[in-house]
Amino acid sequence: MKKIGILIPAYNEENTIIKVINRVNTEIANNFDFRILVIDDGSEDNTSQLVRKQGVELARHPVSMGPGGAIRTGYIIMKNWDIDYIVQLDADGQHDPADFHQLYQKMIDEHLDMVVGSRFLIDNPGLNFVRKFGITFFTWLINFLTGLNLTDITSGFRVLTSGSLEKVCFSSEKHWTIEMTLLAYKNDLKIGEAPIKVIERENGVSQFNELITFFTYPFRAIKQILTVYLM
């Protein structure tokens, strides 16, 4: 039985974190020996208290370090776990843990090191035009620089082998998906994609609804891409 570590970064997700944990327990229970690790990235609500009541392993940042910082903490902890694969998904309920099986099967069938859950391999009406345009542009840029053939560079739903962990440890707090993919490419890891559904957010607000993020994200992301690509 394969051993899997499931990494869930969370920031102020008291309305969804229990549903996500329950879905993970339901969808990944059969055929896998798994442990769940939630990284509370300095939440100001009851996220940590709810996670503790579920008996799930928890680490908490005293202040927010961004989604990349939360995932990096999870990687540091999981380095000491006896696991074969790492699954990472969001705590806001937009990722369906049931889609894990498609990512995992893709990894096994094609002997891959990392599989990204793509929102563009099937129809996902929940993505607005601006988000689609931004994702498409940065995916095209990464493909242009690397020769990869990906469709969704910014997806946070990923499965990777535990042996790949050291090679994809990124430094970015906000653009970790981009940096992680570039590092995987530069370290000759085999990367693939599998389709995932987008579940409409019921609670909370996406960072992309903030006006300052909307205008600054492209410039920060391009800078990060060039920094990692040229290093």
CATH number for the domain that contains residue 199: 3.90.550.10
pLDDT tens string 20-46 = 999 999 998 878 999 999 999 999 999
Residue 134 has pLDDT above 90, yes or no: no
Using CB atoms within 10 Å of the CB of residue 25, give its burial: 0 to 12 exposed, 13 to 18 middle, 19+ buried: middle
pLDDT tens string 186-205 = 999 999 999 999 887 665 54
Choice between 12 and 214, residue whose per-residue pLDDT is larger: 12
The pLDDT score that the predictor gives to residue 210 is 47
Q: What is the mean pLDDT of residues 202-230?
A: 58
Strand-by-strand arrangement of the 2-10 sheet: 57-61, 32-41, 2-10, 85-88, 158-161, 114-118, 191-195
Q: Count how many domains the chain has.
A: 1
Range of the domain at 105: 2-230
Candidate from 3-17, 141-155, 210-224 with smallest mean pLDDT: 210-224
The pLDDT score that the predictor gives to residue 217 is 63
The pLDDT score that the predictor gives to residue 185 is 94
Q: What is the chain's mean pLDDT, rounded?
A: 88
Q: What is the mean pLDDT of residues 131-150?
A: 89
pLDDT tens string 87-130 = 999 999 999 999 999 999 999 999 999 999 999 998 876 677 77
The pLDDT score that the predictor gives to residue 118 is 96
The pLDDT score that the predictor gives to residue 209 is 47
Residue 211 pLDDT grade (very low, low, confident, very high; cuts 50, 70, 90): very low
- Above pLDDT 70, what percent of the chain? 84
The pLDDT score that the predictor gives to residue 107 is 97
**Cα pseudo-dihedral 169, 173, 178, 181, rounded to 10:** 10
Residue 216 has pLDDT above 70, yes or no: no
User: Model pTM?
Assistant: 0.88
The pLDDT score that the predictor gives to residue 207 is 46
Using CB atoms within 10 Å of the CB of residue 227, give its burial: 0 to 12 exposed, 13 to 18 middle, 19+ buried: middle
